[in-house]
Each structure stands twice: as C-alpha cells, then as structure tokens.
C-alpha cells in the first residue's frame, strides 16, 4: 500500500498526505485524522529505512527501560507503548525498547546514543534528580520526558500529569469522609511522580491540621509484592490507620490483596484509594476509588505526537503538557468506623 493510493482515495495531494502522516502543524487536524484513519484502514506501513536515508536521520524512537517481571505485568505501561508504536509506524518510525540493568541505565543510554539508530528518546518514570535527562541534554540528543524533573534548569520537552493535585483530590475526599488516621503507601521518593503525590498528600493534611505519624508512611513499593508487604506493616500498627492512599497501581494491587487477605472489608473496616486504580484485569470484586488520568491509549498517542514534533524541531516551550487527573468514586472508601 502506497501514500499515492491514500491520496487518491481522499482526493488530496501526495504532499499533504505525507505531511499529515508525519504530523506537520500546517495540516488541519481534521485532514490529519482522515489520513491516519485511511492509513490504518488500508494497512499502510511506511518504509522507515528509505525514509530515514532520504531525510538523513535515524529511523527509530527509543525507550530505555529496566524491564522486570513487575513491569511486564504493568498493563498500563504496555498499553502506552503499544499506542505509541502504532502511531510511530504510521509515520515510518520504529519504537525500540532497550532493556537495561536497573543499576546502570546510563550505560544503556550511551550504547543507544552511539548506535545512531535512535533519533529521539522517550524517558519514562522521571526522577527528581535524573541523570538520564542530564546526559541526553548534555549530549544534545533529542528527548521527551514522560514526567518532569527538577534536575534540569533549561527548557526541555515533557508530558506529565498534575500529581500533586491528584493526591490532594484523594486526600481531601478521605478527610471529608471524617478520616483522621491516614496513611500513605507508595513508591520511592526518588521518582518524580511519587515525590509530587506525597507532597500533595502532606499539603492536604497540613491544611486540615491533621498530623501524620512517620510510622504511617511506607515509601518503598512499586510492584505487587512490595505493596503487599507495605500494607501488612500498616495493618500491624498499634493504632491501625482508618484510610490509606496508595500512590501507584502496581503497589495498589498488592496492597488491596493484603487488606482482603487480612479479613478486612474495603470501604468499611479500611478505606483505600489507589492512584490509577487496579486495571481492567483486576479480579478484586470491590470497585476501587481511584485517581484516574487519561487512558493509556490516549496518553500513548499524545506522547507520540509530542515526540514527532520534537523530531521536527518545534520549539521546546510548545512541547510541555500537563494533564489534570480526575477522581473516580468506587466502593473502597467510606466514613471511618466509630472508635
């Protein structure tokens, strides 16, 4: 299938179709949508090697990711990557996921940069102090950060969610329900999202004049097993919390199972809110109250469009997007039991 066939079907010029496929801003949004839909319907696949040679640049987008068993079970990450891959394919680009040691991601980045096959990187799970972003910026390599980082002082492209606002939505709800013994369970504070969500949690408690005890904070969980263990520690406290905010969905799965295995009833004996929910494949019957962000598919497309814009050299100031989360009410939270 060729671009010429798509152009003939839609009654457009070959130049317009080509520009629409590659996300040029001068093409109307409706026209680009029609072209992309036609390309998908006609199973168009661009020759990325020929395109790369013609343009004199690399023909792939890279993600360096320390893949663990927990990550392979993260449906949200897989859906974002899949959606990105589909959009890049229409533009004649491959998405390469480069595995790396969790202890030495920088070496993997160095290898990927040297290979020259990758024209732009998408950097996931940004950190408060992110040496990966610093390396790419110092080497003048194009990238889009999936999350922000305080370690960069000059402009860069990023796509992020308002994590502080989302955590405040969840915490304020628990406070309105009457909870005063709140606990926090989440990922390491090195991650930008975890740092922001914890800051939002603390800000809401401070505004309400509610103290937070250090033992009611577990910040070491980013997969099911550690989420389960962290919740067990909270449930074993001499004065058990009446509500828990979990800052990521992977730890949330383990945390919720720990509650259920202890014989407690979600929403009655213990209120739990999980950032990003438990996922569509959850076997938990109780609907969990969650802070939700745009769907992984929507996020993947948005990241892909921003990455294509980065490849085109659009101004960095225009490639910064902050999305607002929403609170979806389930059955996993409610007023605290009378003491």
The secondary structure of 47-101 as a DSSP string is -HHHHHHHHTS--EEEEEE---HHHHT-HHHHHHHHHHHHHHHHTT-EEEEEE--
> What CA–CA distance (Å, rounded) separates 3 from 9?
10
Residue 54: per-residue pLDDT? 39
Specify whether the CB–CB gap between 65 and 71 falls below 8 A: yes
CA distances from 256 to 54, 98, 226, 288, 289 (A): 53, 32, 12, 9, 12
**β-strand pairing of 143-146 with 118-123:** parallel
> What CA–CA distance (Å, rounded) separates 33 from 308?
15
Q: Is the pLDDT of residue 149 over 60?
A: yes
CATH superfamily for domain 1-44 = lambda repressor-like DNA-binding domains (1.10.260.40)
Helices 3-10 and 14-21: angle between axes, nearest 10 degrees: 110
> What CA–CA distance (Å, rounded) separates 165 from 145?
20
Domain ranges of the chain: 1-44, 46-161+295-323, 163-293
Phi/psi-derived region of residue 140, left when phi > 0, alpha when psi is between -120 and 50, beta in every other case: left
Q: What class is the 163-293 domain? A: alpha beta
Model pLDDT for residues 108-144, shown as the tens digit of each residue: 999 999 887 899 999 999 999 999 999 999 999 999 9
Q: Closest Cα to residue 158, out of 188, 138, 172, 137?
A: 137
Estimate to the nearest angstrom the gap between the alpha carbon of 317 and the chain centroid.
Answer: 21
Burial class (CB in 10 A: 0-12, 13-18, 19+), 288: buried
The reported pTM is 0.81
**β-strand pairing of 157-161 with 243-246:** unpaired
State which fold the 46-161+295-323 domain adopts.
Rossmann fold (3.40.50)
Residue 39: per-residue pLDDT? 80
Rounded CA Rg of the chain:
22
Model pLDDT for residues 150-194, shown as the tens digit of each residue: 889 899 999 999 999 999 999 999 999 999 999 999 999 999 999
Model pLDDT for residues 212-227, shown as the tens digit of each residue: 999 999 999 999 999 9
CA distances from 122 to 152, 172, 222 (A): 16, 33, 20
Q: Is the pLDDT of residue 89 over 70?
A: yes
SS3 260: helix
Model pLDDT for residues 249-301, shown as the tens digit of each residue: 999 999 999 999 999 999 999 999 999 998 766 778 789 999 998 888 999 99
Specify whether the CB–CB gap between 210 and 182 falls below 8 A: yes
Do 1-44 and 163-293 come out as alike in CATH topology? Answer: no
Handedness of CA 297, 186, 180, 162 (dihedral sign): negative
Token pair of 117 as six digits: 């096959």
Please give the average per-residue pLDDT across 50-68, as a whole number.
65
């Amino acid at each position: 299938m060729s671009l010429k066939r798509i152009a003939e079907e839609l009654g457009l010029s070959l130049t317009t179709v080509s520009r629409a496929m590659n996300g040029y801003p001068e093409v109307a949004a409706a026209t680009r949508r029609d072209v992309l839909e036609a390309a998908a319907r006609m199973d168009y696949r661009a020759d990325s090697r020929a395109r790369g040679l013609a343009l004199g640049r690399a023909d792939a987008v890279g993600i360096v990711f320390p893949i663990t068993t927990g990550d392979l079970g993260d449906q949200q990450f897989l859906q974002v990557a899949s959606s990105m891959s589909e959009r890049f394919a229409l533009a004649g680009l491959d998405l390469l996921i480069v595995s790396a040691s969790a202890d030495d991601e920088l070496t993997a980045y160095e290898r990927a940069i040297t290979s020259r096959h990758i024209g732009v990187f998408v950097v996931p799970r940004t950190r408060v102090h992110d040496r990966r972003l610093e390396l790419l910026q110092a080497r003048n390599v194009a990238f889009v950060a999936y999350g922000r980082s305080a370690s960069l002082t000059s402009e860069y492209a990023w796509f992020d969610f308002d994590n502080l606002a989302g955590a405040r939505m969840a915490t304020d709800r628990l406070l309105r329900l009457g909870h005063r013994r709140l606990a926090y369970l989440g990922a390491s504070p090195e991650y930008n999202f975890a740092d922001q969500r914890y800051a939002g949690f603390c800000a809401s408690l401070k505004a309400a004049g509610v103290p937070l005890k250090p033992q009611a904070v577990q910040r070491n969980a980013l997969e099911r097993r550690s989420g389960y263990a962290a919740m067990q520690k909270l449930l074993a406290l001499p004065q058990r919390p009446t509500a828990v905010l979990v800052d990521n969905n992977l730890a949330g799965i383990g945390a919720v199972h720990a509650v259920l295995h202890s014989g407690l009833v979600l929403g009655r004996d213990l209120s739990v809110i999980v950032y990003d929910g438990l996922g569509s494949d959850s076997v938990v019957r109780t609907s969990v109250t969650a802070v939700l962000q745009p769907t992984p598919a929507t996020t993947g497309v948005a990241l892909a469009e921003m990455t294509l814009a980065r490849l085109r050299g659009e101004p960095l100031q225009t490639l910064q997007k902050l999305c607002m989360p929403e609170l979806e009410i389930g059955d996993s939270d409610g007023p605290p039991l009378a003491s």
